[in-house]
């Protein structure tokens, strides 16, 4: 698919199918650990807003709010074990999101990249697409199912596999900046950026694997501030003033 938006404004969605990447940290809100009910409620409402417009929505969620392998890896833990623990953390988050989405009256399905059938479905691409076509919000869990790959890479991979028109990366800042805006008062936000620029400048938007995957498969990516009410609705309506667009 990967086509240009069909419309730039109005209530009609500009994108038919999107993939939203949420970090695990995004789910913990002010709690410092775990899952914030307030964040889940807010997210579910925002998602309902766009599903009701007819947009097909898939999510990829991280697990850093529950488990971060890096610290333990530095302390000597086997990296593969750490990454597997991280994948399980994403499954916990995916189930919480499924629950929150169902509570606002939408249908949701979780598909995991590692087999854990008692709690959710396996990732099967063709079934994933059928769920989306039926208007179900699809939550992809367990990253790519492999160690050494980030959930950003999983998001890029799934966006390609489901032929998403747009990938969104929800962050705590409203786009990509020339430098960390929390540390550098002179940092300015990019409205638009190519993947090659993001790669060359090492802006830390996503890891290089994810950026290269998106670039090579012409996925359009918008990085935006997830705390901003109505942001998702505005973006899928074609509002290009929010966040930063990364393109080929
Ligand atoms: P359709 O085929 O479009 O009807 O999709 P469906 O998801 O409603 O039907 P299906 O019979 O596949 O699934 C019914 C319910 O069982 C849904 O809530 C699925 O998420 C769930 N389900 C399906 N496969 C699995 C699985 O392997 N493990 C778990 N735990 N649940 C599953």
Tens digits of per-residue pLDDT, 34-54? 999 999 999 999 999 999 999
Query: Confidence class of residue 11 from pLDDT cuts 50, 70 and 90?
Result: low
Pairwise CA distance, residues 213 & 194, whole Å: 13
Residue 180's pLDDT is 86
Cα of 48 from ligand 1 centre, angstroms: 21
Q: Give me the helix-helix angle, 79-103 and 37-51, nearest 10°.
A: 60
Residue 74's pLDDT is 85
Cα of 159 from ligand 1 centre, angstroms: 22
Residue 2's pLDDT is 40
Phi, psi angles (nearest 5°) of residue 161: -65, -35
* Mutate-to-test residue for ligand 1 from 91, 121, 124, highest number of ligand atoms within 8 A of CB: 121
Nearest Cα neighbor of 13 from 47, 52, 48, 55 is: 55
Residue 201's pLDDT is 93
Instruction: Point out which residues pair with 189 in neighbouring strands.
Output: 177
- Which tens digits make up the pLDDT trace of 56-113? 999 999 999 999 877 788 889 999 999 999 999 999 999 999 999 999 999 999 999 9
Cα of 131 from ligand 1 centre, angstroms: 10
Residue 89's pLDDT is 97
Residues in Cβ contact with 61 at an 8 Å cutoff, skipping those fewer than 6 apart: 21, 22, 23, 24, 27, 90, 93, 94, 97, 139, 140, 141, 151
Residue 70's pLDDT is 75
Residue 40's pLDDT is 97
Q: Is the pLDDT of residue 8 over 80?
A: no
- Which tens digits make up the pLDDT trace of 175-224? 999 988 888 999 999 999 999 999 999 998 999 999 999 999 999 999 99
- What is the token pair recorded at 93? 């988050």
- What is the token pair recorded at 232? 């998702």
- What is the token pair recorded at 155? 């998001």
Cα of 18 from ligand 1 centre, angstroms: 22
Give the pocket of ligand 1 (CB within 6 Å).
109, 117-121, 130, 134
- Which tens digits make up the pLDDT trace of 223-234? 999 999 999 999
> What percentage of the chain has pLDDT greater than the value 70?
96
Beta strands 56-61 and 137-141, pairing class: parallel
């Amino acid at each position: 698919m990967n086509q240009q938006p069909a419309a730039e404004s109005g209530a009609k969605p500009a994108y038919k199918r999107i993939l939203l990447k949420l970090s695990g940290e995004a789910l913990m809100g002010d709690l410092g650990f775990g899952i914030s009910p307030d964040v889940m409620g807010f997210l579910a409402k925002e998602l309902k807003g766009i599903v009701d417009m007819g947009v097909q929505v898939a999510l990829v969620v991280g697990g850093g709010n529950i488990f971060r392998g890096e610290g333990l890896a530095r302390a000597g833990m086997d990296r593969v074990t750490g990454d597997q623990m991280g994948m399980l953390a994403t499954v916990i988050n995916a189930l919480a999101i499924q629950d929150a989405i169902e509570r606002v009256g939408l249908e949701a399905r979780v598909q995991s990249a590692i087999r854990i059938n008692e709690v959710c479905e396996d990732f099967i691409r063709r079934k994933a697409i059928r769920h989306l076509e039926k208007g179900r919000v699809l939550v992809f869990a367990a990253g790519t199912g492999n160690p050494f790959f980030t959930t950003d890479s999983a998001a890029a991979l799934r966006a390609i596999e489901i032929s998403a028109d747009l990938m969104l990366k929800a962050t705590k800042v409203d786009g990509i900046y020339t430098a960390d805006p929390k540390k550098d008062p002179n940092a300015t936000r990019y409205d638009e950026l190519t993947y090659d620029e993001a790669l060359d400048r090492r802006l830390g938007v996503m890891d290089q694997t994810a950026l290269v995957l998106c670039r090579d498969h012409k996925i359009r990516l918008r990085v935006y501030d997830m705390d901003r009410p109505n942001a998702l609705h505005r973006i899928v309506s074609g509002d290009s003033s929010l966040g930063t667009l990364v393109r080929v």
